[in-house]
Structure 1
């Protein structure tokens, strides 16, 4: 059976890879460049690493910082309108997943008509037909993988939806771990578990392939080994390098194999309670994996080994149980609450969360175990109680 594998056209990875920026910008006939970034990065001067060399080389730049975590649809609409009205030749995204997702959206929809909401996956009626402006994506977190995916995620009133098309892929991705050193511990933890979730869900996905398996397992090895150090000592160069590569590989894996139940249930948590996406994934990861454990025991045994443990003398069943326990321990070790109660979510919210999660059919379809409404509620309840349960 043939498999389609898609990567961004050009990626630079490794410490100091930002040095390739000017050469890549020069390949495009761009004079006026929009730099979309998180306001925090502008405040600490990190944006200067992009803008100063561009302006010294004669490019006209504008910095756009109306970026918030889990960006609502209105933020996307405003940015696309701004990009259209000001006739930019190129868009550069610098920051976390929100900044990069908005950059992809602006670059593509700036050359299309209509509102962003008309292009949403679940409810939109318009189709993307043009490649859009050239775009360079430069992550400053090790987590989202947005620099190598074709998806832009937007928050709606109570859930999330996406705009997705291969035209949203970066023309150039620059993954420089040196840019992640200033990342605070809390964000390092949340984005790191997000990347780990990408790798784990890619590996158990119904769409997994030989190629994505290799990417996912190596991402799990790197992230599991480095995340505790990266959170406790952000200056540790090797930990930052390993997290950066791990996130990048996990992004390539989940872009091609897809994510599943964890993300399907995380979207409503972010939508209804405005909790960071990485935290939403983290609080669900061990409970989803525990619930579906029976459907992917062998794969969870592999994940357990990739996390640095040995299953040599263990059955698949025992290794899979230990894998779930280690995922829960890892979340706790990086100081992310391990239950919904820890995020001040009350039990009476579980019904509305379930109602919205059921609609995430694109994601749920990849789960190795079918997750029906009653299953989804049971997982939310397990996460609320802080107790691993499995399907009976």
Structure 2
């Protein structure tokens, strides 16, 4: 679990104080920042750079890749003799996952692709801080950093992955485009649905999942009663609670199939979950009905026909990637999941998307 977290409007201003006790001699802090902030001088000025600290602006247009992590680690090692004092990720799920992965790979040998899986990391990561600027992914609290590798899309899931410190400032989520706000918020809602309906459910995950689910209902179906500030703060808390829920259980069908979309088509995680979940009434019943009400209420268009022109080879790869997410299927259907989830069934579902 994340050992330290601060929350509240304007708490980003505490960053310098928080980092001061972790500064090592001649060792920089490396900031990985969503490049949408590159021209926001007011925001950048709040980051109190000292000595050889470094800002690296990264595009979040594509899902994070193992090759991207390897390149960032190579560049940091070539520029600095000492290990950094810390890695600070500022942005959405892509930047937070990159920050977690880079902090791990600075102390572990090989490629990030070597660590895609469960509990493969052996050495403690460099100190790392997560600062989300969009809410819903749960990446700020998750023990997973999801990466697309050369042969699969799979997370580095380990006890060394979670951030050492998280700063939750709802002010930073102002100005997020509506579609992106919705898709990422639905990532949180789907986390809760899959956790609460899964076979891995326990009292810990249920308590967090139910709270996040209720917050999502309030935000996305009764939003008219909330001010913008209240809505931002509650979605940030929903994201945190949703991430905590799946940390002690798992996600399910939508996420497993979304990984296939992401690997083959490069579909961003949030929108990919929405595309899949839209077709899962067979498994998640009333929650899919509620999801469709949310889509209608906020005037969101879910892309259609994204799998219509896939080649047979692409479809096979997509199915294999999805079926490789064994813990997700076990959570959804139990140990006998393979009697329910077949390549034929997945193809049928993908062709509806």
- Which of 20, 36, 39 pairs up with 1:40? 36
The runs of at least 4 aligned residues of structure 1 exceeding 6 Å deviation read none
Contact 1:83 1:106 in 2 (8 A): no
Tell me whether 1:112 sits opposite 2:108 in the alignment: yes
1:346 paired with 2:305, answer no
Assess if the C-alpha contact under 8 Å between 2:212 and 2:237 holds in 1.
yes
Separation in 1 of the partners of 2:295 and 2:72?
Answer: 34
More helix by percentage: 1
Matched, 1:243 2:232: no
C-alpha distance in 2 between matches for 1:332 and 1:379: 26
Tell me the secondary structure at the aligned position of residue 267 of structure 2: coil
Distance 2:3 2:162 in 1: 8
Alignment map for 1:316-335 (pairs within 5 Å): 321-335=285-299
> In the alignment, is the contact (CA less than 8 A) between 2:153 and 2:259 conserved in 1?
yes
Q: Report how far residue 218 of structure 1 moved.
A: 1.1
Separation of aligned partners in 1, 2:301 and 2:139: 25
Counterpart of 2:189 in structure 1 is: 196
Q: CA deviation at 1:382?
A: 4.1
- Which among 315, 329, 332 is matched to residue 367 of structure 1? 332
Q: Residue 18 of structure 1 corresponds to which residue in structure 2? A: 12
Indicate whether 1:96 and 2:92 are aligned. Answer: yes
Q: Structure 2 unaligned runs (5+)?
A: none
The change in CA–CA distance for 1:198 and 1:108 in structure 2 (over 3 A counts) is: same
Shift of 1:158: 6.8
Q: Is the 1:195–1:246 contact (alpha carbons within 8 Å) kept by the matching residues of 2?
A: yes
- Matched position secondary structure for 2:130: strand
Q: Which residue of 2 aligns with 1:292?
A: 283
Matched, 1:62 2:46: no
Matched length: 343
* Structure 1 portions without partners, runs of 5+: 1-6, 294-320, 387-392
Q: Return the offset for 1:25.
A: 0.7
| CA pair 128-354 structure 1, distance change in 2 beyond 3 A | closer
Give the Cα–Cα distance (whole angstroms) in 1 for the partners of residues 268 and 286 of structure 2.
27
SS of 1:65's partner is strand
**Residues 60 and 365 of structure 1: CA distance in aligned 2, closer, same or farther (over 3 Å):** same
In structure 2, what is the equivalent of residue 279 of structure 1? Answer: 271
Decide whether the 8 Å contact of 1:283 with 1:337 is kept in 2. Answer: no
Take 2:115 and 2:286, find their aligned partners in 1: how far apart are those partners? Answer: 42
SS of 2:135's equivalent in the other structure is coil
Q: 2:76 aligns with which of 80, 83, 89?
A: 83
Distance in 2 between the 1:208 and 1:190 partners?
25
Alignment of 1:266 onto 2:262: no
On the 8 A contact 2:254/2:277 being kept in 1, the answer is yes
Distance 1:380 1:219 in 2: 32
User: Could you tell me how far 1:252 is from its partner in structure 2?
Assistant: 1.0
Deviations 1:232-264 (A, max 9, x none): 9x9811111111111111111112211122111
TM-score, length basis structure 2: 0.87
Give the 3 Å change call, closer, same or farther, for CA 160–49 of structure 1 in structure 2: farther
48 and 201 in structure 1: CA distance in 2 versus 1, 3 angstrom threshold: same
